Structure 1
């Protein structure tokens, strides 16, 4: 009888120890205070630096991990190395999920970076010569977005497709040459091409002011707002909700307006 009681007591102790260990692990998860966010340098990291102070007041430490490409930060979030990233718009995210079989979701809009056409050889688009070379980003959504600008300016027309590429040109009466390059390269090739359509974050990093230096700038009504992205299933975590709240705060809105003077606009 005593042996049976002893066995039951031991089982109870083990069960309590396991429960305590489990509760401890769950408690640690609930008390997560460090948020790792991947971002491209300008303006995303700059905006996140303001968010650091705001999050600190909420009990969170924001760690910013900088990237210079559009692929690695999504893979890092999908694999759990980062809690979130901040560099892309929704059409790019949707295409990335489709092509890479990732499960990433948007939480909030933050800002819009109007894409612009830049040149070191001309001062207006009507100065482009026949056969001129125009560089554009080579990722599907940003290339289509860039080509939309050229079409709106009457330089080219395209077939009716979801994402335009140079292969979808319908009419090119002036024989413009479209050069597809990685987005970060575009500012560096301005000496080599007649014009380039550049994402604002890379333009700013190259000391190009969209309002002053762009020949043409994308409309502020563009749907390509930059968003915070997390892995599916994490969007309702307390630390992500805190990050969402901070990134959509009046403090961030005022910073964007004061710092970028309209070259970047808040989208919330």
Structure 2
């Protein structure tokens, strides 16, 4: 089944759940006395006026995948924004499809879980009006041990698991090409590589097993080697230093995303500043060693394969 078909099915299901939630919320306050409603409204207005927040958007719903991105919100960003006066809600997902659909449907204000090549592909295939805003510390993709504990143990007929979404699968293929396990065709786009772009797999005759990214850590004992996304590796207790090989490119440092209509709004600026504050940088360095950090922090050595970035967006994040 194509990713587009899966996305459409999930979008329908998610929209139904979202509408049910709205109905329940709407019914919850129907019996409140009118005087109490007015008092509550006045109190909320007064609190908003006294705080340094977006007066038109006092609650921010952030969506992430479970793991490090969720921890960043729970342990640092949420508190910083709440001190400023915002009400912050975190919704954590276990897949890479629903966060963008939920954002487009308005169930989220911002999501943080994906690199730009994935966002670009997903929004094009699903006709979503989303845009990236700022980068976040990102655990790199790595090859980890399964039944085999060293790259020297690679053998003909071995099995290698990899994330099944197109952009991360492409990254896995590029890593295997870097290692000399397979040979990709000349002049292909490394951001969109697929099995049809493999020119030669005869050296090891690898059985590439595609799985949902969240399943990869749990399935390590069923394969010889596993290509695992960094956030799911750390969420499963796997240390990044245990990787047998890490992706060298900085093209896949992850981004936040919002609806295009929200570009330039104060609450977006405030979230951006929270993720680029000195307090957050200190937290990231202490909590996530070995990660790749946002380019705007000027702490990484980039390479020639890095994907082009939106200069206007980066300039806005620097403000």
TM-score by length of 1: 0.85
SS at match of 1:85: strand
Asked if 1:79 is matched to 2:79, the reply is: no
CA deviation string 1:156-176 (max 9, x = no partner): 111243311223210112211
Measure the CA separation in 2 of the matches of 1:266 and 1:256. 9
Moved more, 182-191 or 116-125: 116-125
Which residue does 2:233 correspond to in 1?
203
Within the candidate set 106, 112, 118, 1:92 is matched to 118
Which residue does 1:11 correspond to in 2?
none
Equivalent runs, 1:29-178 vs 2, <5 Å: 30-49=55-74, 50-159=76-185, 160-162=187-189, 163-172=192-201, 173-178=203-208
Paired residues in the alignment total: 239
Measure the CA separation in 2 of the matches of 1:80 and 1:233. 11
SS at match of 2:222: coil
Which residue does 2:292 correspond to in 1?
265
Measure the CA separation in 2 of the matches of 1:113 and 1:145. 14
Moved more, 224-233 or 122-131: 122-131
Query: Does the aligned pair in 1 maintain the 2:154–2:204 contact within 8 Å?
Result: no
Which residue does 1:255 correspond to in 2?
283
Which residue does 1:192 correspond to in 2?
222
Measure the CA separation in 1 of the matches of 2:56 and 2:195. 50
Within the candidate set 241, 247, 259, 1:231 is matched to 259
Asked if 1:241 is matched to 2:269, the reply is: yes
Which residue does 1:8 correspond to in 2?
none
CA deviation string 1:112-147 (max 9, x = no partner): 221110113222212111110111111111011111
Which residue does 2:210 correspond to in 1?
180
Measure the CA separation in 1 of the matches of 2:136 and 2:146. 31
Query: Does the aligned pair in 1 maintain the 2:115–2:252 contact within 8 Å?
Result: yes
Measure the CA separation in 2 of the matches of 1:254 and 1:146. 31
Superposed CA RMSD in Å reads 1.6
SS at match of 1:266: coil
- Structure 1: which 5+ runs fail to align? 1-23
Query: Does the aligned pair in 2 maintain the 1:104–1:231 contact within 8 Å?
Result: yes
Question: How many angstroms does 1:246 deviate by?
Answer: 0.5
Question: How many angstroms does 1:252 deviate by?
Answer: 1.4
Measure the CA separation in 1 of the matches of 2:160 and 2:194. 13
When Rg is computed on C-alpha atoms for both structures, the one with the higher figure is: 1
Query: Does the aligned pair in 2 maintain the 1:166–1:178 contact within 8 Å?
Result: no
Query: Does the aligned pair in 2 maintain the 1:111–1:227 contact within 8 Å?
Result: no
